[in-house]
Chains A and B, each alone.
Chain A
Amino acid sequence: MTYRITFAVGGRARFLSHLETVDTLLGALRRAGYDIALSKGMKPRPVISLAMPRAVGVQALADLADVQLVDDPDPAELAGRLDAQLPHGMTVVGVEPAEGRTAAARVEATAYEVEVEDDVDWPRALAAFAAAESCEVVRTAPGKADRRIDVRTYCSSIEHEPGLLRMELRMTEAGTARPEEIAQAVAGLIGRTANIKRLVRTRICLRDQPVGART
């Protein structure tokens, strides 16, 4: 049976990479006594997928992993036993049976809290952002050509409170924007640079929710 595990990553565990997070979940499930289903084919691999990779250093309050087990344990029991095996900083928020397409294929939006220094006039910058037709940033990646991205199209909401930017980002066919790109783009509109202290992913929203499922 396939389960959707909602889990939080904080403390020092936020420095785990995406791959390390996956391996940590798999190891904890095995130590908890569960057999993970293997994929078919020449090189069978455990059937697990995370809804969204998490950048190193980013904290997450409710990330999602779909994992297929050989047996079908009670979700509450699975949650308890898995939580006991996770390293400090990782906790299970909830477990429910999952059906249909994986969470990774159904991500509609993500919500972030970006801890920032208030040395930028955020209300003015956000007003400029709201008024702007488009707002481009340059995305650089090692070994790839720089890309210009209009982050405005991905940001469905953004607000400021002291020390914090809350934003919701859309996932589209063309991808999405990173929260730090939004913060820099907004600050850039009034000629400033955002001083980001911490990133927290608070939610991953899925489309086509089955009836009764939580977001």
Chain B
Amino acid sequence: MGKALLEDRIEAVLETVQKPSRYIGGEANQVRKPQATALVALCYPDAYEIGISNQALQILYQQINRRESIAAERVYCPWPDMADAMRRQGLPLFTLESWRPVREADLLGITLQAELTYSNVLEVLDLAGIPLRATDRGEDDPIVVAGGPSASNPAPLAPFFDAVFMGESERAFEAVLDVIATVPGRAARLAALAENPYLYLPGRGRHPVERAVYADFGIETHPTRVVVPYSSAIFSRASVEVMRGCTRGCRFCHAGTWYRPVRERSPDEVAEAGLAQLGCTGYDELSLTSLATSDYTGIVPAIEKIKTRLPTLHLSLPSNRVDTGPVALTAAANARQSSITLAPEAATQRMRDIICKTITDEMIERAIEAAFQAGYTSLKMYFMIGLPRETHAEVQGIVDLGIRAREIGRRVRPGGGRFSVHVSVSNFVPKPHTPFQWEGMSSRAQLDAKQAYMRRAMPTRQIRLSLHDLRTSMLEGALARGGEELADVIERAWRAGARFDAWSEMYQEAAWEAAFAACGSSIDEQATREFGEWDELPWDHVRSGVSKEFLLDEWGQSRAEVATGDCRWDGCTDCGACFGPVRNRLVS
């Protein structure tokens, strides 16, 4: 199909679909490189407004586009109306920048940020006209590479990828790009990639693969000219990643293992990078991002440096520790926000010891009080249910803490000052590479009963309770710790119409149930599966750097209901993540 003809046909289809701006590209700071000799298509397998907000792909986009010879272009999963129209018209999936067919790319990189996007991976491959299974691909097909946190258990999607990249791209992905730039032909490239220690090639058996760590975490790789999304995006502000990694050691948290050790950028670097990005994007808000920004030791000078230059700028500090200091800092940084989020995760001390969330009842109450005193009118609190060894007391504790927050609000904001408490409760899903990787997910019946209890017990006046969709949580649990046997299940479910599973209104439970049943299992059986400590785990060949012994110790400590300290200030816990230049790097 000629290029002009393809463009006309795409435009004709765009006349007929919802939100056509999802497919047009052309945003500020997008890069067009017609002179490049190779094309890498970068895909987030969900809707544009979700995918464009992903920071990892913005990093990769800039990293690749720095090379003269390779163009990086973006692609997202077309919404079902668009996908169906494309199939009817015989239109191939195309990149946003140049509207080139994705199948013409040399490499298709797909980021796996969540298990509930797995069916969309197949949707993307199919729309692109790329054979689903790597073994069915030929010389004309792109090399399909997965990356991102969910790739840390590559098994469920392994047959659909030619390679899976583990860890942080900033330095380590350069070797992959070198191969694309210098070696012609798919088979020769795959052969050249086989020596890369950070690439798992499913076609070569379950060989060991390491996680790449960007030890120096230099500011030069921080993206400045980020693509500015059209206004539908969920995340529309400038951002600087101030720190990578977290060693708090929360035992449910995948990122707490996968991004170790902790690396901080200097306040000067943070301020310069933030101001530069603001200038290139036209944003009026800057977010200082990390897994726990209040733990960043340069936070106060960084804020001062930015505020000196731009006194009225709105700064947002997401992911803060539940304590008074972070609440005050957040309030001072952004006078515009009327709501604040705290994440106690569990409401009783016992459960916080089990999950290693080292905050106390007193700290939570003080933080709530500080939030209302600072003038916030909406307080949101995150909790989980279904955590290991949970009893009725833990569930009741969430209800009690919701009520307690309301009491504090009424005391601090007397005279009927308006405020609301939002209690958001998700369902715990055990993740690979965490101390809870051996635990089964709580059963559907248990979680359902707990949700029903909370709905009955939580008062509704000034308290809003939101409970995460149990159906999609169970599927997430089934996919997260699955082995390669799940590939057939995922393909069957997708063939039966599953896509956009994270969108409750799109979730097709029947398709998934039937797919699991056809393969002799069920969602619930898979999700609640427990592993013994001597069992081989599907992701054992993936070396995160954190040792299995450490995870086992931590699992033991959780059963003993003992929290573990943070190596940044309580001494080394011997997790194994540090070696040579890879170590905690704090600015103060």
Which residues of A approach B to under 8 Å, CB–CB? 12-13, 15-17, 19-20, 22-24, 26-31, 56-57, 85, 87-89
Contacts and interface: CB of A to CB of B under 8 A. Distances in A.
Contact of B231 (A15, A19, A57, A88): A19
B25 interface: yes
B396 to A, nearest CB: 38
Given A15-B20, A20-B230, A20-B232, A27 B281 contact: yes
B228 A12 contact: no
Contact of A23 (B11, B23, B230): B230
Given A23-B230, A85-B282, 6 more contacts: A13-B24, A30-B282, A31-B279, A56-B20, A56-B21, A89-B26
Interface in B327-350: none
Contacts of B19: 17
The 9 tightest CB contacts between A and B, nearest first, are: A30-B282, A15-B20, A27-B282, A12-B24, A23-B231, A31-B282, A87-B26, A20-B230, A88-B26
A16 B48 CA distance: 14
B537 interface: no
B28 interface: yes
A49 B27 CA distance: 21
12 contacts: A12-B25, A12-B26, A13-B24, A15-B20, A15-B21, A16-B21, A20-B232, A26-B282, A27-B283, A30-B282, A31-B280, A57-B15
Contacts of A15: 14, 20-21, 23-24
A28 B282 contact: yes
B26 A31 contact: no
Interface string B258-270: 0000000000000
A57 B11 CA distance: 9
Contacts of A89: 26
Contact of B26 (A13, A26, A27): A13
B230 A16 contact: yes
Nearest to B12: A197
Interface residues of B, number: 22
B284 interface: yes
Nearest to B99: A12
Contacts of A28: 28, 282
A56 B11 CA distance: 12
Given A20-B230, A23-B231, A31 B281 contact: yes
A30 B19 CA distance: 25
Interface in B7-48: 11, 14-15, 19-21, 23-28
Main secondary structure of the interface of B (DSSP, over half): loop
Most buried by B among A24, A27, A56, A89: A27
A19 B284 CA distance: 17
A142 to B, nearest CB: 11
B20 to A, nearest CB: 4
B117 to A, nearest CB: 25
A83 to B, nearest CB: 13
Contacts of A57: 14-15, 20
Given A15-B14, A26-B282, A20 B21 contact: yes
Interface in B276-323: 279-284
Contacts of B21: 15-17, 20, 56
B231 A85 contact: no
Contacts of A16: 21, 24, 230
Nearest to A89: B26
A121 B27 CA distance: 42
A20 B231 contact: yes
A99 B281 CA distance: 30
A85 B26 contact: no
A29 B26 contact: no
A89 to B, nearest CB: 6
Nearest to B231: A23
Contacts of A27: 28, 228, 281-283
Nearest to A22: B231
A101 B267 CA distance: 47
A13 B21 CA distance: 8
A88 B23 CA distance: 14
A16 B25 CA distance: 10
Contacts of A31: 28, 279-282
Contacts of B281: 27, 31
Contacts of A30: 282-284
B14 A29 contact: no
Contacts of B11: 12
Nearest to A15: B20
Interface string B215-253: 000000000000010111000000000000000000000
A149 B28 CA distance: 41
A57 to B, nearest CB: 5
Nearest to A43: B336
B359 to A, nearest CB: 33
A119 B24 CA distance: 31
A24 B27 CA distance: 9
A160 to B, nearest CB: 22
B28 A85 contact: yes
Contacts of A20: 21, 230-232
A23 B228 CA distance: 10
Given A15-B20, A30-B284, A57-B15, A87 B27 contact: yes
A89 B232 CA distance: 19
Most buried by A among B14, B24, B228: B24
Most buried by A among B19, B21, B279, B283: B21
Nearest to B24: A12
Contacts of A85: 28, 282
A142 B193 CA distance: 53
Nearest to A23: B231
A4 to B, nearest CB: 21
A26 B27 CA distance: 13
Interface string B29-72: 00000000000000000000000000000000000000000000
B264 to A, nearest CB: 29
Contacts of B231: 17, 19-20, 22-23
Contacts of B20: 15, 56-57
